[in-house]
């Protein structure tokens, strides 16, 4: 019995040592993954891309299925607040509308690879950029059409074709990527020529705003699946690209913001609702307060009912007054 007891104690000690070594190896693997994120699967055969384009064109004819009971639309701008001026004339800043995090994310410029993260708005307004947490993405972004949604950064890059990257902000890894299934893309806004795809969020999920040579005068809209990055449906809107500077979606309706080449007051001048609940004639003419130049990005937060805007280096918040659609 004494001999068996000694053997059992020896086996127990060996098992504990093995568990310690396994834990150490797992921690080392987690560290290596954060330092060397796995590259996304971005290579696609031309035939596969053509097949996706064909499927998407067929989906244009489908009827859009309502995902929520949201019936809000803009009535007016309640107020404007200037939080900071980082300096770069173009960029995007936002807060995740899902979850309880107060983190602020800043993507400066139209072609960088470093995201600045602040734990709250006060830190963003009072701290210099050098004191922010830095998150590097594996591929530089293109334009300012990014969005933070559900703990992920969705951004646009280009490698032969325009691609949407889904990046995990916590684990610092690429979760998924997809080639955007549209041919001969052109800048979606004439006053923001760096944006070929503008990814936005609303109460029903993610959307992609884009334009192509096929319908070169007007803006197009697509419903994007945030889990798979698949395009669920696409629409050709009547909203012109000319003098457009940005856009956002609220309850399934895209609001296109216009300006002039000589900066004046920005205004919502075209509205397209995928369920035909709002027409241009019924939509109010919404003017934004006098500002500095042209908005390079405008990101609606459906949780807070406000827009995070970037205007010539200034980071602004527009608080909205909402009303119900006439269904």
Q: Given a cut of 90, is residue 297 above it in pLDDT?
A: yes
The verdict on residue 38 lying in a domain is no
Predicted TM-score (pTM) of the model is 0.79
Residues 290, 196, single domain; the answer is yes
Residues 3, 111, single domain; the answer is no
The verdict on residue 45 lying in a domain is no
Residues 29, 78, single domain; the answer is no
The verdict on residue 153 lying in a domain is yes
Domain that includes residue 18, residue range: 1-33
Closest CA to 106 of 309, 318, 324: 309
The verdict on residue 21 lying in a domain is yes
- Tokens matching residue 247: 């856009």
Domain count, the chain: 2
- CB-based contact 82:315 (threshold 8 Å): yes
Residues 197, 140, single domain; the answer is yes
Residues 213, 259, single domain; the answer is yes
Residues 1, 135, single domain; the answer is no
What pLDDT is stored for residue 250 in this prediction?
95
Residues 146, 228, single domain; the answer is yes
Exposure string for 166-188, b = 16+ CB within 10 A, e = fewer: bbebeebbbbbbbbbbbeebebb
pLDDT in tens, 81-140: 999 898 789 999 999 999 888 999 999 999 999 999 999 888 888 877 778 899 999 999
The verdict on residue 280 lying in a domain is yes
Highest mean pLDDT among 35-44, 57-66, 296-305: 296-305
């Amino acid at each position: 019995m004494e001999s068996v007891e000694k053997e059992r104690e020896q086996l127990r000690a060996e098992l504990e040592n093995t568990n310690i070594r396994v834990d150490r190896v797992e921690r080392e693997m987690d560290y290596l993954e954060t330092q060397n994120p796995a590259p996304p699967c971005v290579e696609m055969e031309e035939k596969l891309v053509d097949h996706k384009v064909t499927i998407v064109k067929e989906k244009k004819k489908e009827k859009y299925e309502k995902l929520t009971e949201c019936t809000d639309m803009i009535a007016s701008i309640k107020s404007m607040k200037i939080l900071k001026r980082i300096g770069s004339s173009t960029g995007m800043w936002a807060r995740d509308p899902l979850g309880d995090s107060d983190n602020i994310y800043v993507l400066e410029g139209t072609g960088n690879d470093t995201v600045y993260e602040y734990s709250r708005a006060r830190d963003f307004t009072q701290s210099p950029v050098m004191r922010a947490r830095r998150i590097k993405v594996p591929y530089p972004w293109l334009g300012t059409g990014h969005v933070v949604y559900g703990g992920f950064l969705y951004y646009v890059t280009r490698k032969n074709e325009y691609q949407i990257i889904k990046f995990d902000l916590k684990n610092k890894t690429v979760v998924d990527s997809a080639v955007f299934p549209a041919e001969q893309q052109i800048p979606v806004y004439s006053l923001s020529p760096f944006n070929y795809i503008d990814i936005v969020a609303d109460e029903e999920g993610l959307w992609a705003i884009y334009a192509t040579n096929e319908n070169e005068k007007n803006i197009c809209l697509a419903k994007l699946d945030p889990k798979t990055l698949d395009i669920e449906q696409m629409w050709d809107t009547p909203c012109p690209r000319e003098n457009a500077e940005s856009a956002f979606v609220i309850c399934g309706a895209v609001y296109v913001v216009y300006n002039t080449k000589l900066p004046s007051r920005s205004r919502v001048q075209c509205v397209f609702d995928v369920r035909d609940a709002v027409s241009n004639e019924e939509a109010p003419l919404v003017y934004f307060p006098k500002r500095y130049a042209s908005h390079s990005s405008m990101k609606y937060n459906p949780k807070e009912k406000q827009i995070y805007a970037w205007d010539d280096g200034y980071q602004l918040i527009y608080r909205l007054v909402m009303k119900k659609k006439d269904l």
